[in-house]
Amino acid sequence: MSERVDRSGLRVDAALAQFIESEVLQPLGRDAAAFWAGFAELLRRFGPRNVALLDKRDELQAKIDRWHAERRGQPHDADAYRGFLEEIGYLVAEPEPFTVGTTNVDAEIAAMAGPQLVVPALNARFVLNAANARWGSLYDAYYGTDALPQAPAAQVSGYDPKRGEAVIAAARAFLDLAVPLENTSWSEIAGPESLPLCQPSQYLGSTEKGLVFCNHGLHIEVVFDRENAIGRTDPAGIADIRLEAALTTIVDLEDSIAAVDGEDKLAAYRNWLGVIRGDLEASFDKGGKTMTRSLEGDLVVTAVDGSTLDLSGRSLLFVRNVGHLMTNPAVLQVGGAEVPEGILDAVVTSAIGALDVEGHSRWRNSRCGSIYIVKPKMHGPEEAAFTNDLFDAVEDLLGLKRHTIKVGVMDEERRTSANLAACIAAVKDRIVFINTGFLDRTGDEIHTSMRAGPMVRKGAMKQSVWLDAYEKRNVAIGLACGLSGKAQIGKGMWAAPDRMHAMLDEKVGHLRAGANTAWVPSPTAAVLHALHYHATDVFEVQHRLAPAPGLDALLTLPLAEGVNWSEAEIAEELDNNCQGLLGYVVRWIDQGIGCSKVPDINDVGLMEDRATLRISSQHLANWLLHGVASQPQVMDALKRMAVRVDAQNAGDPAYRPMEGNWNSHPAFLAAVDLVFKGLDQPNGYTEPLLHAWRRKVKAS
């Protein structure tokens, strides 16, 4: 039990209160007593609204469940279904045409197109890596990955010249595409002097050892250094090609972390404070030496006219708050109820962001004076309006100008997808981001229509009618609402950090779909994904996109109608779901790791966060409900896959095997709960069960 202090009737974790008062409010010059009184009043105003919104979710789901149950065994009537959703208020009227009015948005969001990272806030080293991923070496990205399958594998430790030759050739080919020369190639130049650029305006100036160019709004630094080991043997003296890569990063307090109490929340807030303030550091061992990582400075460019241009050396930072569902014991309200965690996040992360807005940071995060918050898991326009009102109140509490706090709306819940224009309208003067995400959105698709019938297999879900409509409508509706030039329209994660050649082949599809940002799993992947934005002008693509599918396509249920799976196919699907679920949950429950590279059933490492549990647990619950699989079959799959996961984690000294501990291992029991209680979880979310089991482990 943590020590608590009283603040305006709130019982606050003592360490968290000290942190807020001394490290956030004091530098801001805010009165602590006034802050806590205002926070308590804010909770009195918004707490009941938060509960009412959650109650409405449950009421709508109960009505949908009854509708499907009453028609069990009958063909699905799409017209009657849509009419029913309108009748119960699940679907709302489309707003009149409008254009968002967001102002004071940084160029990385409004005017540039490029990769985006998502990083767990609880890992300081990862936060620094992501923040510093604004720039990265193309040479390193090519050399250290499978991006160039034609390049010979390194045959020696250290640098292999043969592989290096292939890397240099590919990098020169990139320059010929992005910064073409008149009647020659970058592979033929002798040095940096008098480069015959096809477009002289691409040249911005020089750095200490390089030349800087711009293409499609992204910057490129060609480093000339004949004292460098690579530059010494290069005919032109080129030592590296550095690309502007992760324009933006989301520091995540949600799906990629395990934060269940005041101790966890404080650790996450402290890292957010450090990266905003500019003094975050992380030390680690490398080759027997202690290394310390900190934030990079800006890239100073001397322009042609002799003036100085500072290009940011760091990714522009968002912070992702949690959604409306969960509460947290970091703060107890009058009467002892836990604080709504989304409200706590809004207040604390905004207060920390105010340090940047008011000039109390080493480097400016937002040069436009904005605080960027991504808000996930909102269901429909009422919940978006709640967030808008909450952010108004937080601005008033902190003495910030109206709409200083910007919002990113994650389109990952079915009711939001179906009413996306109305959701955007509810936050139209502060919206800076929308995106799509397969895992959570599919989890909600399954749970919403749980009783309609058995769902198709997860792999087939990616070819479903609703998913195609979802992806296309998100972009089209965002553009129709005027997001281009004011906000990001994003696409989801490439989850396989070791499969960069495949990413280069496939992820360009996100740009061709009109997205001006997309998630990648690492700084290296950000460098490689940046190549797509040099090859494709996304803003030009947005002008020629085809009309989006209609709402009926989005509402098409992914039912496995007329399918008769073999026993082998059913077993394969159960194993896949159970292995993925167990592989993630065992680290979450036992070690508090919310995001890591988890081997899948084929031993391919995937960057997984909590969304993978939602889709897997809901799919299993659906097949159990409709008799596709039995409880003994699923339990057998869970046990067999637990043995598999144990083997995959055999090299981790902190790992506790599940095999043989079926009735006592908390992670295995949590996985069992997620599946067999999945039907009853609110909107199919996994957080309530995960938090309960993680707290038990922390208390033991």
With CA atoms as reference, report the closest residue to 384 among 430, 319, 328: 430
DSSP state of 559: B
Alpha-carbon distances of 264 from 40, 271, 496, 698, rounded to whole Å = 22, 11, 28, 11
Local structure of residue 134 (DSSP, 8 states) = G
Give the tens place of pLDDT for each residue, 301-328.
999 999 999 999 999 999 999 999 999 9
- Render pLDDT for 533-574 as a digit per residue (tens, 0 to 9): 999 999 999 999 999 899 999 999 999 998 999 999 999 999
As a whole number of angstroms, the distance between CA 225 and CA 219 comes to: 19
Q: In what order do the strands lie in the sheet with 327-332?
A: 4-7, 10-13, 327-332, 338-340
| Longest Cα–Cα distance in the chain | 77
Return the HEC string of 7-42: ECCEEEEHHHHHHHHHHHHHHHCCCHHHHHHHHHHH
**Quick one: pLDDT at residue 234?**
97
Give the 3-state secondary structure of residue 240: strand
- pLDDT bin (cut points 50, 70, 90) of residue 288 is confident
Q: Quick one: pLDDT at residue 626? A: 98
- CA 361 to the chain's CA centroid: 25
pTM, whole model, 2 decimals? Answer: 0.98
Cα gap 373→342, rounded to integer Å: 11
Judged by DSSP in three states, 331 sits in strand
pLDDT in tens, 450-491: 999 999 999 999 999 999 999 999 999 999 999 999 999 999
pLDDT digits (tens, 9 = 90+) for 659-696: 999 999 999 999 999 999 999 999 999 999 999 999 99
- Residue for token digits 């190639």? 185
Tell me what pLDDT residue 307 has. 97
Question: Token digits for 458?
Answer: 């997860």
Q: What is the pLDDT of residues 367-382, one digit of tens each?
A: 999 999 999 999 999 9
Q: How confident is the model at residue 102 (pLDDT cuts 50, 70, 90)?
A: very high
Q: Which of the four pLDDT bands, split at 50, 70 and 90, describes residue 287?
A: confident
Statement: residue 295 has pLDDT above 80: yes
pLDDT, tens digit (0-9, with 9 covering 90-100), for 232-286: 999 999 999 999 999 999 999 999 999 999 999 999 999 999 999 999 999 988 8
pLDDT more than 90, % of the chain: 97
Buried b / exposed e over 404-421, threshold 16 CB at 10 Å, is bbbbbbbbbbbbbbbbbb
Terminal Cα-to-Cα distance of the chain (whole angstroms)? 12
| Nearest CA-CA partner of 31 in 348, 397, 371, 401 | 397
Instruction: Report, in this order, helix, strand and coil percent for the chain, each rounded to 5.
Output: 45, 15, 35
Please spell the DSSP secondary structure of 455-506, one letter per residue: BPPHHHHTT-HHHHHHHHHHHHHHHHTT-TTTSEEEE-----TT-HHHHHHH
Structure tokens at 156: 């020696």
C-beta of residue 615 within 8 angstroms of C-beta of residue 412: no
> Given 277, 320, 587, 644, which residue is catalytic?
320
Alpha-carbon gap, residue 520 to 512, rounded angstroms = 17
Q: Is 600:663 a contact under the CB 8 Å cutoff?
A: no
The mean per-residue pLDDT over the stretch 95-121 comes to 98
Residue of 252, 261, 609, 673 with catalytic role: 609
Please indicate whether residue 609 is annotated as part of the active site. Answer: yes
**What is the rounded (10 degree) CA torsion for 678, 437, 546, 544?**
170
User: What pairs with residue 519 in β-bridges?
Assistant: 116
Nearest Cα residue to 423 out of 394, 392, 387: 387
List beta partners, residue 219. 214
- Is residue 55 part of the annotated active site? The answer reads no
CA 84 to chain centre: 33
User: What is the pLDDT averaged over residues 280-293?
Assistant: 91
Do β-strands 405-411 and 371-375 pair in parallel, antiparallel, or remain unpaired? parallel
Question: pLDDT > 70: what percent of the chain?
Answer: 100
Query: What is residue 542's three-state secondary structure?
Result: helix
Q: How far apart are CA 467 and CA 479, in angstroms?
A: 19
Q: Which residue has the tokens 């070690």?
A: 591
List of residues 6+ apart from 625 with CB closer than 8 A: 450, 451, 679
Mean pLDDT, range 49-55, rounded to an integer: 98
| Residue 494 scores a pLDDT above 80 | yes
CA-to-CA dists, residue 24 to 274, 354, 378, angstroms:
11, 9, 28
pLDDT surpassing 70 at residue 1 = no
HSE-CB for 663 with a 13 A CA cutoff: 0
Average pLDDT over the chain, rounded to whole? 97
Give DSSP secondary structure letters for 51-103.
HHHHHHHHHHHHHHHHHHHHTTTSPP-HHHHHHHHHHTTSS-PPPPP------
Per DSSP, which regions of 397-473 are E strands? 405-411, 431-436
